[in-house]
């Protein structure tokens, strides 16, 4: 093919642009760790935890090895296990339900609201009843702040309180967003996040953190993070994990956190431009009142009758990458299909899995490039 006929490819997430912006500050931060050689539990880990506590308003921050470990560690700390049910949305990344299943407890899948992609509270109530009918003890609910937008935390907490559940917020995609003026990290018993590179606040490898205001829970989490260590380091008092965040990743995150608010503002501008450019041809994401988003993804729904594979291929031919989060909801996947779903089924999750598609989204998407994406979407729909 002629070079001139092939449009310059657009990155889906531009981690390199951020790397160029941070340049020397990251290089210096990493060099400091290479010099002091405290690769585990170095001073940057404590400094990052303090900075994250300040940023979110949470009393305790316990960094850990991944977002999945963050979820798992809270469930372990609360002795979740066989016979227990934990309610979670089905339309999410698999780690949400996986952490539950790893403890031996039963994930019970709940539907989502089609306009926000977040947990449907009527389905949550039905899911609790479904769990009880199956002889399980409902113990916890894991709302997910999907694609960066806060879930309806007040409504979920009210149900959790009435049903005797604790709330573990999965903010792996939503950290940095707020709900009715409160930053994620301060809602529910605990909040888990991920620093996987593609998340809104990512490191250069795997990482995660847990946020809580509960002193006893924070102590237990710090013990679980190091194999269940007790006050005598040779007498482990519970089961735990190798759950620590590396010093190197903490050093990187300290620098990235300094520009995070600025990046969130830039992501919101990108989202606004998409909504203005595409709102009359596809279903664009809607923010619920009182909720903000950090736009981990910009996910649209295609009109009925549009072939999604053909649409993605048409964009690809224009150099525009897309991704589908999620072609299968959790209850439709091989490893999870035998777990219960809330009474009434999960029709919204199934419809979304059929018609969503995500467009390039990051803080460094300039207007001209974004205009190319918008025009490519519009022309693919007319074809």
Q: Which residues lie near ligand PLP (CB under 6 A)?
A: 66-68, 92-93, 95-96, 144, 170, 172-173, 194, 196, 206, 208
The torsion region of residue 106 among left (phi > 0), alpha (psi -120 to 50) and beta comes to: beta
Q: Are the C-beta atoms of 80 and 140 separated by less than 8 Å?
A: yes
CB nearer ligand PLP, residue 66 or residue 123: 66
Asked if 18 and 252 touch (Cβ cutoff 8 Å), the reply is: no
**Token reading at 258:** 């300094």
Q: Which is nearer to ligand PLP, 67 or 138 (CB)?
A: 67
* Residue number, 196 or 311, with CB nearest to ligand PLP: 196
Which pair of structure tokens corresponds to residue 183?
Answer: 């930053």
Residue (88 or 374) nearer to ligand PLP, CB: 88
Given the complex with ligand PLP, which of 264 and 377 has the nearer CB atom?
264
Q: In angstroms, what is the minimal distance from the CB of 69 to ligand PLP? A: 7
Which is closer to ligand PLP, CB of 144 or CB of 150?
A: 144
**CA atoms of 78 and 86, how far apart (whole Å):** 12
Whether the Cβ atoms of residue 153 and residue 291 lie closer than 8 Å to each other: no
Give me the least distance between CB of 205 and ligand PLP, in Å please. 10
CB of 221 to ligand PLP, least distance (A): 16
Residue nearest to ligand PLP (CB): 67
Q: In what order do the strands lie in the sheet with 166-170?
A: 60-64, 208-212, 190-194, 166-170, 137-141, 84-89, 106-110
Q: Kindly state the smallest distance separating residue 193's Cβ from ligand PLP, in Å.
A: 8
The alpha carbon of 292 is separated from its chain's Cα centroid by a whole number of angstroms, namely 14
Residue 115: partners with Cβ closer than 8 Å, 6 or more residues away: 286, 288
How is residue 109 annotated by DSSP? E
The distance of closest approach from Cβ of residue 366 to ligand PLP in the complex, given in angstroms and rounded to an integer, is: 26
In angstroms, give the least distance from the CB of 45 to ligand PLP.
Answer: 17
């Amino acid at each position: 093919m002629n070079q001139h006929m092939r449009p310059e490819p657009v990155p889906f997430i531009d981690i390199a642009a951020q790397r160029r912006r941070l340049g020397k500050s990251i290089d210096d931060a990493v060099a400091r760790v290479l010099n002091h050689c405290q690769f585990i539990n170095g001073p940057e880990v404590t400094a990052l935890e303090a900075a994250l506590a300040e940023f979110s308003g949470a009393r305790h921050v316990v960094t850990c090895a991944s977002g999945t470990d963050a979820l798992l560690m809270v469930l372990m700390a609360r002795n979740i296990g066989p016979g227990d049910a934990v309610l979670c949305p089905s339309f999410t990344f698999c780690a949400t339900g996986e952490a539950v299943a790893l403890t031996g407890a039963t994930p019970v899948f709940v539907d989502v609201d089609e306009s926000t992609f977040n947990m449907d509270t009527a389905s949550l109530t039905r899911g609790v009843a479904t769990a009880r009918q199956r002889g399980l003890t409902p113990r916890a609910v894991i709302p997910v702040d999907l694609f960066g937008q806060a879930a309806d935390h007040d409504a979920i907490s009210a149900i959790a309180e009435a049903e005797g559940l604790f709330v573990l917020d999965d903010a792996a995609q939503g950290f940095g967003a707020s709900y009715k003026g409160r930053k994620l990290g301060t809602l529910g018993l605990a909040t888990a996040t991920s620093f996987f590179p593609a998340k809104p606040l990512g490191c250069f490898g795997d990482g995660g953190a847990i946020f809580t205001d509960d002193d006893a829970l924070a102590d237990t989490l710090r013990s679980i993070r190091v194999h269940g260590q007790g006050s005598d380091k040779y007498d482990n008092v519970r089961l735990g994990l190798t759950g620590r965040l590396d010093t190197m990743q903490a050093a990187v995150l300290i620098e990235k956190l300094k520009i995070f608010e600025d990046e969130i503002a830039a992501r919101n501008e990108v989202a606004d431009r998409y909504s203005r450019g595409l709102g009359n041809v596809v279903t664009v994401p809607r923010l619920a009142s009182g909720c903000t988003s950090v736009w981990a993804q910009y996910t649209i729904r295609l009109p009925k009758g549009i072939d999604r594979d053909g649409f993605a291929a048409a964009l690809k031919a224009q150099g525009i990458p897309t991704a589908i989060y999620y072609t299968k909801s959790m209850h439709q996947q091989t490893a999870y299909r035998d777990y219960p779903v809330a009474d009434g089924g999960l029709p919204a999750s199934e419809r979304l899995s059929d018609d969503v598609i995500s467009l390039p989204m990051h803080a460094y998407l300039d207007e001209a490039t974004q205009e190319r994406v918008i025009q490519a979407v519009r022309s693919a729909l007319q074809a």
